A and B are shown apart, each in its own frame.
Chain A
Amino acid sequence: MMKLNPSLKVKKDMTSPPPLPKIFLALSICFCVLLLRADRLAAAAPPQDLTELSLQELMNISVYGASKFEQKLLEAPAAVTIINQKEIKKYGYRTLADLLRSVRGFFVTNDRNYNYLGVRGFNRPGDYSTRILLLVDGHRLNDPLYDQAPIGTDFPLDLDLVERVEVIRGPSSSIYGTNAFLGVINVITRSGGGVKGLEMSGDAGSFNTYKGRGTYGQKWANGAEALVSGSYYSSQGPKLFFREFDTPETHQGIARNCDYDQFYSAFGKFAYQDFTLTGVYHSREKGIPTGTYGTVFGDPRNRTIDARAYLDLKYNHTFANEWQVLARFSYDHYPYDGFFFINRFDDAGNLTGIGENRDIGRADWWTGELQVCRTLFNRHKVIVGTEYRDNFRLEQRNFDVTPMTSFLDDQRHSNFYAFYGQDEFTILQNLKLNAGVRYDHYSTVGGNVSPRVALIYSPIKTAALKLLYGQAFRAPNAYEMFYQDGGVTAKSNPDLKPERIQTYEVTWEQYFAKHYRLVASGYYYRIHDLITQQVDPADGLIVFRNSDRIEAKGLELELGGNWANGWEGRISYVLQEAKNLQTGGLLTNSPAHLPKVNLIVPLYKDKLFSGLEVQYYSPRKTLDNSHVGDAVLVNLTFFNKNVFKGVELSASAYNLLNQKFRDPGAAEHLINGMNSIIQDGITFRVKLTYKY
């Protein structure tokens, strides 16, 4: 989010990574064996009808509260994954990024300042996860300055407060508008009634990492519910070695006390009858150990502070069981502060001292939303809605502190309005057409239409074939349009257009042999006018332009299993290729193969469980056309509950094989010749939760 050195040329993607055909072959065999086995076990009861289950089975079902997404998985117009609270505990997830790493097709890059989310072969270095929409209980988190989806410790919610996470693949701009480009992640929070009392939790981990949380939740007889929670997190971070800085002037490449991370957060949710009021405040301070943007290496004062706060009032009412009305009014506040310390030289080139540069972003916006849902003629489930947002403060500043020199002071406001409609038409009992379209109008870039059509066919009750076509867009944000510093290094581009995507997808989903769920997807995406950072050859200034055309295609397979005695797991494999059509080169930071395994094993009755995760990342291309090697990540958690009444204990090891793996870096790292960023080796955490 800060100006770049103009001499830096970001090289275009040109070569292809080493091919890895063996993985595909091996995994295909794996799946074939499973399918054969499945064939013999087939003829299962349909899992949809709960009344066919016994009481014992019902007592084992995890339930969730109401949300916008109440469709059965088989009927959703997308390939959906749901991760619930139980899995969060048993796999020992610390952040939303940990959780999303386990989801089929998703991959996360960490540059030790932010975490970046990739899917469908797409995770552009230097991009703040802008092409994935992140929602908390339906409230949008992507801000209007940078469009960032915060998934690391900057995610404003303690993961302990999450009831489940719904991951919806593919474009959903036809309902949600901008950012719903490659996928939507909706995080559903726990309810006061679900907590019922006081909950205290504390954990400790490697590198002096500690977190504490206190939560109180209650549901009263009159139906009112409340949940309040506060968390504090602090991590000293590891001592890191960077080979790129291995010189006497830069402490032989060692960064001490530079990778610290700290946040505090507060969350409150109050529900009475049809109204829900949610309030969130979160502030995180993260040290930057990588000497980005040419800052002084090893100076622990290099850091960013991101805060997110919002108030959201939701009204949800069903009139006479026919009209379902959802209205939402919210106010969001997002301040960002970057502190960067840079060596200063006099005209003769002698070091004169260290100067402080500040990079500041401020955004405030309010949003109003109204949605009506009604079933017509028994066969049409119609949703119509409208949304208005006023970004009444969009402020970007960059200046040196002493002497006070301003490079950027940009104050804006913008707004958009949108209308959308969707019809779920039950043509035959086993054939549904889901068609939707949304029109967005931005004060900055004008109008934009996003359609989506899905045909869902269920030849048998336990299976569905989904044919999906969709278009989505992402409007350029204030940073991309207006960040400039008076012609020193960067210039603005107010003529930016939205980037657009067209997608085709086929998905087969099937439940079989009572325990299994199989999902197979193939997709083909085309992206036009991709907003890309580049250097204008005419004046050497950095500018965002609608330039690249991208083609992405892939194959995703997943087999999930679930047993009453507590065993559960999923195994998935993704083969993907994302290509720049102009240069013909493959995209950077895009692994071709992503196999994953997740498994929960009950070790002792209903008391002790183990959660095992295995993730493989195939080599990824870096900005300078080399590669980071592949990696196998293994995480293991032991989870115990009720050894004493109300106590939950867990112990986790992350990166159990102690792999020294690296994630590709962005342009701000390449300035120092750093094409990739070292990740943590093995780390540990223990956690204790007590419920009164």
Chain B
Amino acid sequence: MNRIVQFFHKTVSPEYFYWLSGKLIPWFIGIFVVVLAFGVWGAFTAPTDYQQGESYRIIFVHVPAAYMSMLIYVCMAVAGFIGLVWHIKLAEITAVASAPIGAAFTALALATGSLWGKPMWGTYWVWDARLTSELILLFLYIGVIALYNAIDDHRKAARAVAILALVGVVNIPIIHFSVEWWSTLHQPATLSKLDQPSMHPDMLRPLLIMIVACTIYFPGILFMRIRAMLLRQERRSRWVARLLGEEGT
């Protein structure tokens, strides 16, 4: 037990994590590129939809982006909770670093959704339940980023962000269901019926591969952001000076 605690403490120390993540990032990005290549190949060779024609192929970007937008919010809240409770600097930084990535995926999901809406519904934007809740999710992300930027002290800002993320995570189910009951025009969730998917396996396979690709992409890009933030916030500490000194010589 003591060993695990020791290992944990070592891993979350900024210096060790900087080193470890530097080793891990190439792996994440490498695997991501390979999986992405498979996914893209599958997306373009999947059979044409009998109703939606070729334009359904945007699903291979849209669904992973929407999935990531929610996954990252949960990651952000969990990291924020850990940071608040145990005062772990790395967890606080993780929460803050997740927000822009999540916002980007949310914006991507919204953009692809509205591009898909044009040929399908005949309009770029409808006030339907899932588009609206995705838009509100984007607002929540923007709030988190704006709050972090508004507070000068990094640690204080990170703790404030953690509280906001936790409040958001309590509210997301409420927002989701309220918007769901308010109006619905969107097709029912494609992937919710796990026992018997409503998609053809040839279409489902590339979609799942794309979701895996995005899930691997997230830690890779997250670690890059965390490393940059660690360097900036720890710039007065000895290990950064040593690191930069080594690279300088």
A and B held together in a complex: no
A residues near B (Cβ < 8 Å) are: none
B residues near A (Cβ < 8 Å) are: none
